[in-house]
A and B are shown apart, each in its own frame.
Chain A
């Protein structure tokens, strides 16, 4: 299987995508990456001239919600263009090949595009029992991940599983599911957390790499700054109700019907970095808060262990069920007050006996 240099535009043309739709795609992608409109020609140029970057999309412990989100990318026609656009050479969920043929693609790409392909990882490897909790093609996913990543340009960690561990890494984490950044330490890693991440964010990250031939600027946690530098809360359309002090107190109250702020219902918007409140999911249709449910903070580290989802204050472990910072603090304060009381009475007693002694 010899490959001639094909560009994204070639593929799009072959698929019958009009020039107009192609330009729309470039414009939308540039906008979602926070680029000025003057940068659109650069995106177009890259799409028309640069060879496609092969992507090996491998799956560890995961639920495939990242793939589900990805194929629903709004711009332009997800199922057609996005998949061919990124030159998805290996994706065990989406590809037609199976068995040994499929596994052979991995080796081919690794040799042909040495140091020039991207590994996209959905899910994470369990390290316990030599990785036996996730077997792909007869061997552990951990082995596959390490082998495939060895000659990669970069590794993209799709979703919270790959970025932070997500549900399978929640305490007590019996399989020792481990995020990619702790397993692959010698390659640049882009974390794209979210459960699932937004499809436009996913395609945006890949388009950026193609357009500029380098990785997007990352924050301290390895997330692309263009999508993860603000909290849900900062751009939430319910923010005016937060500032006004108008909160939903119960799921069926007047405030819930009027669309007030879900802060008191445990919404994690104020502590979650993502682009949900500006981009939305499923072609921008909605995101959790818009549908009346608080944000659960799915793109944050350890979000499963930051419970409960429906209370503002996080429960603190080791102090019994349902104790938060306030119950602990009030307990300590009450204990201190009691100690002060006892000490004060004893002190008064001492003072009185001293006075008595002085008077006699």
Chain B
């Protein structure tokens, strides 16, 4: 919410390099995870020949587990950056839901999406509506997928491995492994729905709002199209 219009601030450095890097690595990891995850649930047509000649399912699973590790360590790095980075790096984890102003802004933004206002406000970081979605759909979804994913991974890794120690407890929440698989699978669609809305909204905002969105995640700079409040 930039109010320093007097100084004609047209560009602010918002997203630092580690955060941008994480965003794109994470996007890539999620893409690989979704594709390979879908194929694990519904494997492609059978390969002809001896079993010793092929390792297709093995490769699909390897990619899935590899991307899962990338996602996990990326997420750990992202949490570190919430402490080390600037204030925008913390926004994802702690939306200001305790502030009345935050909820008011969320309403204004909601009106903007319902075509009820002519012009949106300006935001340096995420607007409250975006923060809301980032927290409740993306962050909660990510944590759910990491926990259920590594719980499933621990089934194959076996008792006593780090994943069984760290995530084995998740298996007890669900009645059985098959149900855990189903929930993990539904989680993929939950996150994919988020991705669809996220990409659409980012492009739309880039065109229609008063600040840059897409390029900000590349350069890190938030550009404002006007200097009005």
Contacts and interface: CB of A to CB of B under 8 A. Distances in A.
A245 B182 contact: no
Contacts of A272: 177
Interface in A269-313: 270-273, 297, 300-303, 306, 312-313
Interface string B154-198: 011011000000001001100111110110011011001100110
A280 B158 CA distance: 21
B196 A268 contact: no
A243 interface: yes
A193 to B, nearest CB: 10
Contacts of B46: 245-249, 255, 260
Nearest to B204: A347
Given A220-B172, A263-B43, A344-B200, A333 B192 contact: yes
Nearest to A315: B182
Contact of A312 (B42, B52, B113): B42
A271 B178 contact: yes
Interface band, chain B? 35 or more
Listed residue (B41, B156, B178, B181) with the most chain A CB atoms within 10 angstroms of its CB: B178
Contacts of A297: 176, 178
A80 interface: no
A150 interface: no
A244 B47 contact: yes
B182 A314 contact: yes
Contact of B193 (A231, A246, A301, A333): A333
Given A249-B45, A306-B176, A313-B41, A241 B51 contact: yes
Contacts of A241: 51
B84 interface: no
Contacts of A183: none
Given A264-B43, A326-B185, A244 B178 contact: no
A248 B92 CA distance: 46
Contacts of A97: none
Contact of A325 (B52, B53, B168, B189): B189
A344 B196 CA distance: 13
B41 A245 contact: no
Contact of B54 (A244, A248, A329): A244
B58 A243 contact: yes
B57 A329 contact: no
A79 interface: no
A328 B196 CA distance: 16
B38 to A, nearest CB: 8
Interface string A210-242: 000000000011000100011100100000111
Interface hub of A225, A328, A347 (most chain B Cβ within 10 A): A347
A333 B189 contact: yes
Contact of B155 (A231, A240, A336): A231
Interface in A345-359: 346-347, 350-351
A244 B38 CA distance: 17
A337 interface: yes
Contacts of B56: 244-245
B98 interface: no
B55 interface: yes
B207 interface: yes
A220 B51 CA distance: 36
A314 B181 contact: yes
A263 B181 CA distance: 14
Contacts of B175: 301-302
Nearest to B207: A351
A245 B47 CA distance: 6
A316 interface: yes
B226 to A, nearest CB: 13
B115 interface: yes
B182 A344 contact: no
A274 to B, nearest CB: 12
B208 interface: yes
Q: Which 4 A-B pairs have the closest CB atoms?
A: A329-B189, A245-B56, A271-B177, A325-B185
28 contacts: A229-B159, A244-B51, A244-B57, A245-B47, A245-B54, A245-B55, A245-B60, A246-B47, A271-B176, A273-B177, A300-B177, A301-B175, A301-B176, A306-B179, A313-B185, A316-B186, A325-B182, A325-B188, A326-B185, A333-B189, A336-B197, A340-B197, A340-B200, A343-B113, A343-B204, A344-B204, A351-B207, A351-B208
